[in-house]
Homo-oligomer: A and B are copies of this chain.
Amino acid sequence: MNKGDRISQGNVQAGAPKLRKDAERNRRRIIEATREVIAELGVHAPVDEIAKRAGVGVGTLYRRFPDRTELIETVFLERAQRYLDTAREALRHEDAWEGFRTYLERLCAMQAEDRVVTDVLTLNLPDSPRLVELRYRIHSTQNRLIRAAKQQGALRADFTPEDVVLLLVAHAAIVQSLGDEAPESSPRFLALALDALRPDGAAPLPSAPRPDRLVKAMQRPPVVVRRRPGGTP
């Protein structure tokens, strides 16, 4: 490493030494590029692509973020937060069903325009307590939405929070395999899904997957943020 280079973190911390003007500008560009690129390509997006989009060399990127993970995490948490905000907003609807419907619609729209949203649902950064906490809040907000919609009689009684996961996993696949070429697929699927949630005339459902299993299943492949494939031996 060169003399002047210094390891620092993506999130400027209190008391961090000020960056040179060009460095600060590049830091912002990198974060912005990361947002864009992983929205399109998902968290697996290669570093080179991010650097290119930011108009910066990879070296520059690594000077600011000690590794790929550090960089991704910044953006990842941002998204999780937005996810939570969506749930909370939905809760403010006075019509509970409308609130729930809006929630699903917004989530699907987010999935369609940003692949990371799906990843937030699915993946765990290694050791990110903050993400765990955000997920917890998302879930409990979501539960309140569901309960309210059921009480109102607008949502089938045997619907469970796990079903939301099923729908989102399903919709993610629709968007990922069909989204670009056949964008009508997403709204079409969502509309069908909503019809499945009506209480009237609903056939009884087989039992829902256990939540803990579901969580385990979704967090399974730590494939996401691989550490050190190359580099230091």
Contacts and interface: CB of A to CB of B under 8 A. Distances in A.
Interface of A: 122, 162-163, 166, 169-174, 177-185, 187-189, 191-198, 200-203, 205-210, 213-214, 216-218, 220
A119 B208 CA distance: 27
B166 A188 contact: yes
B206 A187 contact: yes
A207 B183 CA distance: 11
Given A194-B203, A203-B194, A178 B208 contact: no
16 contacts: A162-B188, A166-B174, A166-B188, A173-B173, A181-B217, A182-B210, A182-B216, A182-B217, A184-B209, A185-B217, A188-B205, A188-B206, A188-B209, A191-B205, A195-B195, A200-B201
Nearest to A178: B217
Nearest to A183: B209
Contact of A177 (B169, B187, B194): B169
The SS class assigned to the A binding surface is helix
Contact of A196 (B173, B184, B196, B213): B196
Given A172-B173, A208-B184, A166 B189 contact: yes
Contacts of A171: 170
A122 B180 CA distance: 15
A163 B192 contact: yes
Contacts of A192: 163, 166, 193, 196-197, 205
A216 B178 CA distance: 9
A129 to B, nearest CB: 23
Given A166-B185, A170-B171, A191 B178 contact: no
A41 to B, nearest CB: 13
A162 B171 CA distance: 15
A28 to B, nearest CB: 33
A161 to B, nearest CB: 13
A179 B214 CA distance: 9
Contact of A181 (B177, B182, B216): B216
Given A173-B170, A174-B169, A195 B196 contact: yes
Nearest to A211: B182
Interchain residue pairs A-B with the least CB separation, the first 4: A173-B173, A181-B217, A170-B170, A182-B209
